[in-house]
C-alpha cells in the first residue's frame, strides 16, 4: 500500500482512463529517475508486471525508493495553457527547473 502520497480524484480518473486503453492487467507506474536540468525527474509509464520492491495502490505502482522520495506528495492531473499533465506537489523538493519537469532534493 502506498502511504503518505495523496492522489486527487482528477489524477485517479485520468489514470483509470489511460489504463482502460491498455491491455488488461496493466499498471500505471510512477518513478523518480536521475536526469533533467535539476537532477531528478518524474517518470510516468505503463508496466505489465509488479516488481518485488513495488508498492501499489489500486493499479498504480511505485518502487520503494521513489515512494520514499514522494512522501507527503500530492499527485494531480491539471489542465493548463501549455496542455494537460500529471503534476506532483512534493514538499521534499528544494528547487525545480523553469518548465517544472525536473527538480532537486
Please state the pTM of the whole predicted model.
0.85
Grid cell 496493466 in the structure block, residue: 26
Mean pLDDT of 63-86: 91
**In the 8-state DSSP scheme, what is residue 48?**
S
- Give 13-72 pLDDT, tens digit per residue: 999 999 999 999 999 999 998 876 667 888 999 999 999 999 999 899 999 999 999 999
* Residue of higher predicted confidence among 7 and 104: 7
Q: Which residue has the higher pLDDT, 102 or 4?
A: 4
Range of the domain at 54: 6-95
Q: Could you give the angle at the alpha carbon of 63 between the alpha carbons of 59 and 64, nearest 5°?
A: 125
39, part of any domain: yes
> How many domains is the chain built from?
1
Residue 13 C-alpha cell reads as 480518473
Q: Write down how long the chain is.
A: 105
Residue at 56 is within a domain: yes
Burial tier of 44 (Cβ tally within 10 Å: 0-12, 13-18, 19+):
middle
Beta bridge partners of 29: 45, 61
Amino acid at each position: 500500500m502506498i502511504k503518505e502520497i495523496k492522489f486527487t480524484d482528477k489524477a485517479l480518473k485520468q489514470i483509470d482512463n489511460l489504463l482502460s486503453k491498455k491491455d488488461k492487467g496493466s499498471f500505471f507506474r510512477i518513478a523518480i529517475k536521475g536526469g533533467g536540468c535539476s537532477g531528478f525527474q518524474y517518470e510516468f509509464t505503463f508496466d505489465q508486471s509488479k516488481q518485488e520492491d513495488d508498492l501499489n495502490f489500486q493499479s498504480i505502482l511505485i518502487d520503494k525508493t521513489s515512494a520514499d522520495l514522494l512522501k507527503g506528495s500530492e499527485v494531480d492531473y491539471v489542465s493548463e495553457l501549455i496542455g494537460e499533465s500529471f503534476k506532483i506537489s512534493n514538499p521534499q523538493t528544494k528547487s525545480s527547473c523553469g518548465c517544472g519537469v525536473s527538480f532537486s532534493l
